[in-house]
A and B are shown apart, each in its own frame.
Chain A
Amino acid sequence: MALLEINQLHAGYGAIKALRGITFKVEQAQVVSLIGANGAGKSTTLNTISGLIKPAAGTIRFDGTDITGWRADRITRRQLVQVPEGRQIIATMTVLENLMLGAYHRQDKAGIEQDLERIFERFKRLNERRHQKAGSMSGGEQQMLAVGRALMARPRLLMLDEPSMGLAPLLVTEVFSIIADIKEQGIPILLVEQNARKALQIADYAYVLERGEIVHEGRADQLRADPAIISAYLG
């Protein structure tokens, strides 16, 4: 049984059918990437898994539990955690407050302190700015904060929605090195990216989404070598 199992998932916005029966899975300790063009339905997929969008049909199973139709906060408390597109840090609150909110559902004070120290260790910039308003930071720093905040929830599966979006090349490299670190820690990741080249380098397995349907899937190294994928997504 896989960690996350999506089966024949349909979802949309009123008359717009953004997902038309997608099926995929994420195994323990795996990085799975979901790639596809703008508007393919990647964010809709993550938001439906997170409970922000109610699916029209299909099932979502996480760690053996059917979580289809659950409220978003309940899903996060199960440690299925999303870093949404556009970072969505809370601009009016400080860096430290944002990080602590990531641990909102946790009770283990000692563990929270430990994780906080670890994050400040890994993200030195956040440490320097811990009492600054999050909104005053640069895009790259905000992305670090968004990832750090999600890690404070001790994710059993981390979903990242276009973490490199809008960042300068150097920062893109930095973001992917952070993802590699997280993978190293053994945290499973579902990575949504338009930067397919980078995503396929880090992923173990990948699915290609087109207009709400999965049109290719396979091991990331195989997809990287697939001429059809190269011309459509890596060209």
Chain B
Amino acid sequence: MNVTQQIVNAIWLGGVYSLFALGYALVFSVLGVLNLAHSAVFMWGAFIGLTVVTRFSLPIWLAIPVAMLGAGIIGIILDLVAFAPLRRRNAPRISQLISSIGAAILLVNIAQFAFGTQPQRFPSGTIPNQALEGLPFRITPIQVIILIISLVLMALLQYLVMRTRIGQAMRAVAFNQRVAGLLGINSGGIFQLTFFLAGALAGAAGVLYGLAYNSMTPFMGDGVALKGLTVIVLGGLGNIQGAVVGGFLVAALEVFSIAAGSSNYRDAIVFTLLFLILLFRPQGLVGQKIETRA
């Protein structure tokens, strides 16, 4: 096994997983609910990006912001339709979880109707895919770009949450919605912002993932959903830094199990990891206590 090569693979793939999982972590930390429609938003992001490139013949660097915007808006709609009405009725968290499963099914069905079920690809030449030369391992420009974009978006998110006024409001709402209200913060607006950001991250991850594997179907979110959930359990549910670290760990686990010849079992291995963490370290491997959740 070429270890250097596997580490390189794990790093760029980890970027996508972290980006994707951050959306789960963000919604969980602010609202305390798991949004199981997140992977469907991811898939929609990929298809929005694809549509921008194929239907409108726009360059890929435009596809990513458009997909982020589109998926962000889907995130807001998701909140308005699947979460906000339940929140207003003080419905238990479990019913919000189930509502998000319903929304996921609906989003996948609409995508099947709109885009069909055949795998679709970005036109060849969207991004050059011959490996960079002169390196001791194989890496393509797209993989480099994926890693850079993931890291930049993660840094921006970290900055937004930790350093800006609106980020502080998000953390206040995450800590306690009533107290946030007493501070003059409109939680409803913060919830929508959170869903927008989570959607935008999923959208970016969707396009990047679509570019990396160049095969998109309405069901492409299923496999990623499992990995994303493992990532956030690993990182400690609402923990943003934990989600980043967890993304790279899960990618490494996957990449190395494929390299070790057990590619048929890669999902089973991730599942086993999920099971073991839930059993032995339900607070997550990475973080101390959850940063934002009270």
**Residue ranges of A at the interface with B (Cβ–Cβ < 8 Å):** 50-52, 71-74, 76-77, 81-82, 84, 88, 90-93, 97, 100-102, 104-105, 149, 153
Q: Are B168 and A100 in contact (CB under 8 A)?
A: yes
**Contact among A82, A93, A97 for B182, CB-based, below 8 A:** A82
Q: Are B181 and A72 in contact (CB under 8 A)?
A: yes
| B165 interfacial contact with A, CB 8 Å | yes
**Residue ranges of B at the interface with A (Cβ–Cβ < 8 Å):** 165, 168-169, 171-172, 175-176, 178-187, 291-292, 294
> Assuming the A-B contacts A50-B182, A71-B186, A76-B184, are A104 and B169 also in contact, with contact meaning beta carbons closer than 8 angstroms in the complex?
yes
Q: Are A77 and B175 in contact (CB under 8 A)?
A: no
Q: What residues of chain A lie closer than 8 Å to B292, measured between beta carbons?
A: 92
User: Can you list 27 pairs linking A and B with CB atoms under 8 Å apart?
Assistant: A50-B181, A52-B181, A73-B180, A73-B184, A73-B186, A74-B186, A76-B183, A81-B182, A84-B178, A84-B179, A90-B175, A91-B175, A92-B291, A93-B168, A93-B172, A97-B168, A101-B169, A101-B172, A101-B183, A101-B185, A104-B169, A104-B172, A104-B183, A104-B184, A105-B184, A149-B183, A153-B184
Q: Are B171 and A92 in contact (CB under 8 A)?
A: yes
> Assuming the A-B contacts A92-B171, A93-B168, A93-B171, are A102 and B178 also in contact, with contact meaning beta carbons closer than 8 angstroms in the complex?
no
Q: What residues of chain B lie closer than 8 Å to A71, measured between beta carbons?
A: 181, 186
**In the complex the two chains form, what is the Cα distance from A185 to B229 in whole Å?**
53
Q: Are B168 and A102 in contact (CB under 8 A)?
A: no
Chain B residue at minimum C-beta to C-beta distance from A79 = B184
**In the complex the two chains form, what is the Cα distance from A100 to B292 in whole Å?**
17
Q: Is the interface of B mostly helix, strand, loop or mixed?
A: helix
Q: What residues of chain B lie closer than 8 Å to A105, measured between beta carbons?
A: 184
> In the complex, what's the smallest C-beta–C-beta distance from A37 to chain B, in angstroms?
24
Chain B residue at minimum C-beta to C-beta distance from A93 = B171
Chain B residue at minimum C-beta to C-beta distance from A100 = B168
Chain B residue at minimum C-beta to C-beta distance from A76 = B184
Residue in B172, B179, B182 whose Cβ sees the most chain A Cβ within 10 Å:
B182
Q: What residues of chain A lie closer than 8 Å to B183, measured between beta carbons?
A: 73, 76, 101-102, 104, 149, 153
> In the complex, what's the smallest C-beta–C-beta distance from A170 to chain B, in angstroms?
27
> In the complex, what's the smallest C-beta–C-beta distance from A109 to chain B, in angstroms?
11
Chain A residue at minimum C-beta to C-beta distance from B169 = A104
Chain A residue at minimum C-beta to C-beta distance from B293 = A92
> In the complex, what's the smallest C-beta–C-beta distance from A53 to chain B, in angstroms?
10
Q: What residues of chain A lie closer than 8 Å to B168, measured between beta carbons?
A: 93, 97, 100-101, 104
Q: What residues of chain B lie closer than 8 Å to A92, measured between beta carbons?
A: 171, 175, 291-292, 294
**In the complex the two chains form, what is the Cα distance from A25 to B35 in whole Å?**
46
Residue in B172, B180, B184 whose Cβ sees the most chain A Cβ within 10 Å:
B184
The 5 A-B residue pairs with the shortest CB-CB distance in the complex, in nearest-first order? A72-B181, A76-B184, A105-B184, A73-B186, A88-B179
Q: What residues of chain B lie closer than 8 Å to A84, measured between beta carbons?
A: 178-179, 182
Q: What residues of chain A lie closer than 8 Å to B175, measured between beta carbons?
A: 90-93
**In the complex the two chains form, what is the Cα distance from A51 to B187 in whole Å?**
13
Chain B residue at minimum C-beta to C-beta distance from A84 = B182
Chain A residue at minimum C-beta to C-beta distance from B180 = A73
Chain B residue at minimum C-beta to C-beta distance from A153 = B184
**Contact among A90, A102, A104 for B176, CB-based, below 8 A:** A90
**In the complex the two chains form, what is the Cα distance from A102 to B104 in whole Å?**
38
**In the complex the two chains form, what is the Cα distance from A93 to B185 in whole Å?**
16
